[in-house]
């Protein structure tokens, strides 16, 4: 997928965009900016800092290089769900 960063290639300080699923309302998702930061409990790992919270970066997380790219992916996913 173009306009994405492989989580294995993420570097501290990278600004990325993600499609964030609201944990309190599972049917609500939106595009959010996040920063790649050192993991607070594992000095050998990185984390996403999103909504004032650290999130473990999973291998299958989609990290987008721009808000526009994340919005396009979001629209594609949303349109597929409507079919």
Reported as a single tens digit per residue, the pLDDT across 3-51 is 999 998 999 999 999 998 887 887 888 999 999 999 999 989 999 999 8
Domain span at 12: 4-82
As a dihedral over the C-alpha atoms of residue 74, residue 76, residue 77, residue 79, rounded to 10 degrees, the angle is 120
- The domain tally of the chain equals 1
More confident: 38 or 60: 38
Q: What is the pLDDT of residue 80?
A: 65
Q: What is the pLDDT of residue 79?
A: 75
Give the start-end residues of each E strand in 7-62. 15-21, 29-38, 46-50, 53-56
On the question of pLDDT at 62 being above 80, the answer is yes
Residue 58, token pair as written in the block: 């999973």
Tell me the whole-structure pTM to 2 decimals.
Answer: 0.84
pLDDT score for 25: 84
């Amino acid at each position: 997928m173009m306009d994405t960063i492989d989580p294995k290639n993420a570097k501290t300080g990278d600004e990325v965009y993600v499609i964030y699923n609201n944990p309190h309302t599972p049917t609500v998702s939106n595009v959010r900016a996040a920063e790649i930061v050192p993991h607070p409990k594992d000095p050998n790992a990185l984390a996403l800092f999103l909504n004032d919270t650290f999130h473990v970066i999973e291998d299958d997380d989609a990290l987008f290089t721009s808000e526009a790219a994340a919005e396009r992916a979001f629209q594609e996913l949303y349109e597929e769900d409507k079919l």
